[in-house]
Structure formats: C-alpha cells, structure tokens
Amino acid sequence: MRILHLSDFHLRGDGGLSFRVVDTRECLETAAKHLRSLEQRPDAVVLTGDLADSGDAKAYGMLREALEPLHLPVYAVPGNHDRRDRMRDILGPWCPGDPAVAPCLCYVVEEGPVRLVMLDTMQPGSHSGHFPEAVAVWLERVLAARPGAPTLLFMHHPPFVTGMGAMDEPFENVERFEAILRAAPWVRLCCGHMHRPIVTQWAGCLAMTAPAVSMQIELDLSPEGGDCFRMETPGYLLHHWEGGLWNTHVCQIPSVPSFSGPHPFVGSVNPVEA
C-alpha cells in the first residue's frame, strides 16, 4: 500500500505569483508531470492543505484539472489559506466531510488493511491550528473504532513545536489532542504547513511534516525563524505499508530550482468564508 502525500500548493487562479515570487501553477504542473511518470503508482494521493493561496475558487479548479487525469483516489483537508465552502463545491469527492462534525472536513478512509483519518484543523481567518471539542470527540471515537489498525492521521497544522519560532503558534486544545494520541500509539501523524520535512516523536506517536510542492520555508531555528522561504527543490512524502510496517520516504520532484531567497511571506491571506 503506497500513500503519496502532497502539501502546500498555494495556487492562485488569477495568474499572479504567490508571495510575489512563486509561479505556483508551474509548480503544480511540474508535480503532476512527475506523478504521471511514476512506474510504481500510489494507491491514493493525500493533500494536506493550503491548496489555494487565499481560497480562490479558480485555484481549486486548476488543482482538479491537474490531478484528475492520474485516475487515482485523492483525499484532501484544508489549511489556513483555504476555504472549506469552495473545497466542498469544487473538490467535493476529495473531501467528503462527516456531517457529525460539519462544517469541519473530517472523515475516514478505509484502504484495505490501513486507515486514513483526515482531520480538519483550520479556523477561518486564523493562521494557527485549531482542535475544537466536537472534533476531539469525533477523533477519539474514530480511533477507538479500530484499535491497533495501521493508521495515518493527516492534518494541516502540526501540534508539536518545530523550533522555527514564527511558525510555532499555539495549537488550540493541544493537551486534549495529546491525550487522545497517547491512547492510540499505533497512529502515525502526518502534517503540512511547515513547507519542509520534519520528523519527531510526539504524544507517543511518530509525527512528521511534508515538504511543499511550491516553496520551502527557510530553516531558521530562532524565535523569528519560519517567516521566509527559499526556492529549494519541491517534494512530497510516500508512506509505504508492507509486511506490517510503515516506512515513510522523503521524495523530490524533479525540477530546476533557483535556490533564491530568503523571500518574505507577503501578499496572501487566511480567508474568512462568506
């Protein structure tokens, strides 16, 4: 079982450059071309948020047009730059939220022996991660339904501290989230948001973040770090289940990066839904 994990496209539908620097449509096309060339096709593709740069409807249409020709199951959760309403309207089959926690786009995918639990940590207008009690109850119930089952828990915001101060914002209800995961050590936590691969142990589980399809955050382990990016090689994670074991591979997307930067994150918003 191979689960290909992409994150942080930051697409714009107006043809402009994201953060005044990045041609994210070209980044998407480069990534889609690479996925089409893979000899070992994944069983599913997961997108962990910031699909659009500012919730632009046209951006979601671009993403659908690029990935639909792969003829693979695609599952998505929103990030802080997304809009749930537009994701539901345009990418509906990719994010079939459980009505029990609406409007949050949380749901479970049963892929043979493994489970993909999709968790929505976005709150409109906010940059940081959120975990309201209704979602906590839902997650606790979902994980208890199949104890010990090999499970990947996908979400946009990492709940753990990364050392890049500007990105290490408070995560709502983090103590509750930690307690739920400590009771489910069979879960592997897979996030986006950080625009670079990070691996740690948190709440008794292996936890990681994916590199970005677009720009990579500059590695700056200071209180101000995480507020700039460089045009480094884009990438993704490939989660491989075989022989009772998860292996996660950090993969690169063939491209010709300029390695320019650091560039500031400017010119986009965390949208509020209409």
Sheet with 2-6, edge to edge strand ranges:
74-77, 44-48, 2-6, 235-242, 245-252
Q: How far apart are CA 104 and CA 120, in angstroms?
A: 6
Q: Whole-structure pTM over 0.85, yes or no?
A: yes
Provide the residue ranges of all domains of the chain, joining segments of one domain with +.
2-264
| Banded model confidence at residue 273, pLDDT cuts 50, 70, 90 | confident
Question: Which tens digit of pLDDT belongs to each residue from 63-80?
Answer: 999 999 999 999 999 999
Percent of the chain with pLDDT over 90: 97
| CA 130/CA 78 separation, integer angstroms | 12
Q: Count other C-beta atoms under 10 Å from residue 219's C-beta.
A: 13
Model pLDDT, residue 111: 84
Q: CA-CA distance, 75 to 43, in Å (whole number)?
A: 11
The superfamily (CATH) of domain 2-264 is: Metallo-dependent phosphatases (3.60.21.10)
Q: Tens digits of per-residue pLDDT, 226-270? A: 999 999 999 999 999 999 999 999 999 999 999 999 999 998 899
